[in-house]
């Protein structure tokens, strides 16, 4: 027989001044936070677990640490946080080929072959095949999507302030 359990998940709908919207869902029972922002096609989630945070609840954890938006955005959107930059990587490989050629570490044929391979590389994996050129200095270049700080400022930080004020009001009501 299938066991079915119902849990309450807190859904927060946020709308910014430009009418962009996002939903942040928190499952306080298990420490799971889910994000959906359809305006920018951003979605992510992360499971902390209530015991692993060192706090009594996911809300306490968010209130204590939520302003460190880099940490949270990296957990929610790792692919947006570190996006491969093909052009900057290509430029770095070319710079290194020229440097190695000037230093005599590459002959003309080797430099031309590497240059052609650099020109023809079209994705991160093809560039990785060339990375032995760097001799320990990683040539791969990444960038953070502008959607990450936008989301953090438009929705995440206001959300953190909201749950902080909610918890403060609740604590005040209990003490009265």
Across 143-148, average pLDDT: 83
Name the pLDDT band for 132 (thresholds 50, 70, 90). low
Across 136-145, average pLDDT: 68
Across 1-20, average pLDDT: 92
Across 136-165, average pLDDT: 85
pLDDT above 90: residue 100:
no
What pLDDT shows up at residue 164? 94
Name the pLDDT band for 171 (thresholds 50, 70, 90). confident
Q: Is the pTM of this model over 0.75?
A: no
Name the residue with tokens 């230093």.
Answer: 103
Across 128-150, average pLDDT: 71
pLDDT above 70: residue 136:
no
Q: Please compute, for residue 75, the number of CA atoms within 13 A of its CA located in the half-sphere on the CB side.
A: 15
Q: Please state which of the ranges 78-82, 115-119, 162-166 shows the lowest mean pLDDT.
A: 78-82
85-110 burial by CB neighbour count: b if 16+ within 10 A, else e? Answer: eeeebbebbeebbeebbeeeebeeee
Across 3-27, average pLDDT: 93
Q: Distance (Å, rounded) from C-alpha 72 to C-alpha 42?
A: 14
What pLDDT shows up at residue 7? 85
In 3D space, the residue among 29, 24, 34 whose CA is nearest the CA of residue 7 turns out to be 29
Mean pLDDT of the chain: 86
């Amino acid at each position: 027989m299938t066991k079915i359990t119902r849990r309450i998940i807190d859904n927060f709908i946020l709308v910014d001044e430009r009418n962009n919207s996002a939903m942040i869902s928190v499952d306080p029972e298990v420490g799971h936070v889910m994000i959906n922002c359809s305006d920018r096609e951003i979605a992510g989630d992360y499971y902390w677990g209530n015991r692993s945070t060192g706090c009594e609840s996911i809300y306490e954890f968010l209130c204590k640490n939520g302003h460190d938006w880099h940490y949270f955005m990296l957990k929610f959107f790792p692919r947006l946080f570190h996006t491969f930059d093909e052009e900057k990587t290509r430029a770095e490989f070319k710079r290194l080929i020229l440097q190695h050629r000037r230093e005599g570490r590459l002959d003309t044929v080797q430099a031309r072959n590497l240059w052609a391979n650099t020109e023809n590389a079209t994705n991160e994996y093809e560039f990785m095949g060339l990375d032995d050129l760097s001799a320990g200095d990683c040539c791969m270049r990444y960038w953070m999507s502008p959607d990450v700080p936008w989301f953090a400022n438009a929705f995440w930080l206001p959300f953190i302030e909201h749950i902080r004020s909610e918890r403060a009001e609740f604590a005040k009501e209990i003490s009265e």
